[in-house]
Chains A and B, each alone.
Chain A
């Protein structure tokens, strides 16, 4: 049996509240499939299963708030044998809730460990009717769950999931405050910036969009995101997470894109394998995560997987971003507004659209030289937009 725990979706997440299970005991689940919706300080998040198998037991109840690492469910993983004495066979009773939580829940403590008293017939009926027996109160001898209890539960309309707390905005502010304070306290930032000629990129984009139907057009932001992702291949030290006392480079490049939320605050969900997406694919994924970020339907992996963050404040008129790194990441790239500036081309002063790219990086991991190489690589890539 495998324990499914409340995942950590960023260093600033300490706990989560289960809104609802998307699966029932007995359901098959595949790795990456949505298994639950959890409310965090930042947003409601769809939690993906880390395993493929059959859900043996749902432990956490809707409305319960549990710390990161708490066992929320038990999954019988595909290909893994059922251990001796473990439930899942007809002869062995199902375990009761909370077999071995990593930490105690904050709000509602789990029931005491022990065996669930249920008759074999009731257990079989519960499986047929997709009723979670651990959620039932038995009326049989000694409190055992009887057939009638299962039938009654199956006929009872499902209760509405508890409403999500209305003070999310305040909690999001607190969460951002905690993460940013930690970042400034623990990470020795250094900052670099470079002004990049966007003339070729903007001209290429204009011509490219002429060929595309309105539904497939690109925003210049995706060129910036792709250029960052490709530059990270050249300077992989910046594509890393700080763990314990050292940086660990990520084999994959998952750029987190900062998205401001309409009700205030921001999130930075990952666009997975950013460097491997075509610009068209990247645009679709960018649109999708922005839409879902604002609708509160991001997935757990999108919160937990970013290996670097890109933020653009150009639309607010900002020319230069001095970003604060989101721990445990070790770098953040900022872009300002594309502005027309005098620019020298082959000895002539001409007007060119330029953007200021900035890098905030962790000095424990990289030095300014490598940061400079990174920014110059971004610049070089943006001069060949057709190759992105």
Chain B
């Protein structure tokens, strides 16, 4: 089980891979990524795929909005990590 801080750090690392030009450390955790970063639907889909692969969680399309903020991601991923899935520290 990862702590919220570990999840947050992993999510930020994934985001920085999607938007390498952005300083993700200054993101407001309650404001939508798309309102703070220059990312489009393709970027967001890639972000969701990376979350899926890193945390081993299934994310139905209807849940996409829940992953739209940093705090939303932490809330969704806390306690959700599938057993045997890749470690988010990787």
Contacts and interface: CB of A to CB of B under 8 A. Distances in A.
A362 to B, nearest CB: 29
B42 A219 contact: yes
Contacts of B59: 214
A115 B87 CA distance: 61
Contacts of B48: 214
B45 interface: yes
A165 interface: no
A291 B61 CA distance: 22
A203 to B, nearest CB: 13
Nearest to A259: B42
A187 B26 CA distance: 46
B27 interface: no
Interface string A213-225: 0110101010000
Q: Is the interface of A mostly helix, strand, loop or mixed?
A: helix
A296 B72 CA distance: 33
B17 to A, nearest CB: 11
B40 A315 contact: yes
Interface string A182-219: 00000000000000000000000010011000110101
Given A217-B45, A290-B42, A262 B58 contact: no
Interface string B18-54: 0111000000000000000010111001101100100
B41 A287 contact: no
A378 B41 CA distance: 22
A290 B49 CA distance: 16
Contact of B61 (A206, A221, A262): A206
A219 B40 CA distance: 11
A262 B20 CA distance: 9
B54 to A, nearest CB: 12
Interface in B36-90: 38, 40-42, 45-46, 48-49, 52, 58-61
A263 interface: yes
Contacts of A263: 21
B60 A210 contact: yes
A260 to B, nearest CB: 8
Given A262-B19, A263-B21, A210 B49 contact: no
A286 B38 CA distance: 19
Given A214-B52, A315-B41, A287 B46 contact: yes
Contacts of A290: 42
Given A262-B20, A262-B21, A263-B21, A217 B61 contact: yes
Contacts of B60: 210
Given A210-B61, A214-B58, A214-B59, A221 B41 contact: yes
Nearest to B58: A214
Nearest to A214: B52
Contacts of B49: 214-215
Contacts of B61: 206, 209-210, 217
B20 A287 contact: no
Which of A210, A214, A287, A290 has the most B CB atoms < 10 Å from its CB? A214
B20 A219 contact: no
A104 B77 CA distance: 60
Interface of B: 19-21, 38, 40-42, 45-46, 48-49, 52, 58-61
Q: Which 5 A-B pairs have the closest CB atoms?
A: A214-B52, A315-B40, A209-B61, A262-B21, A290-B42
18 contacts: A206-B61, A210-B60, A214-B48, A214-B52, A214-B59, A215-B49, A215-B52, A217-B61, A219-B42, A219-B45, A262-B21, A286-B42, A287-B42, A287-B45, A287-B46, A290-B42, A315-B40, A315-B41
Given A214-B59, A219-B42, 6 more contacts: A219-B45, A221-B42, A262-B19, A262-B38, A287-B46, A315-B40
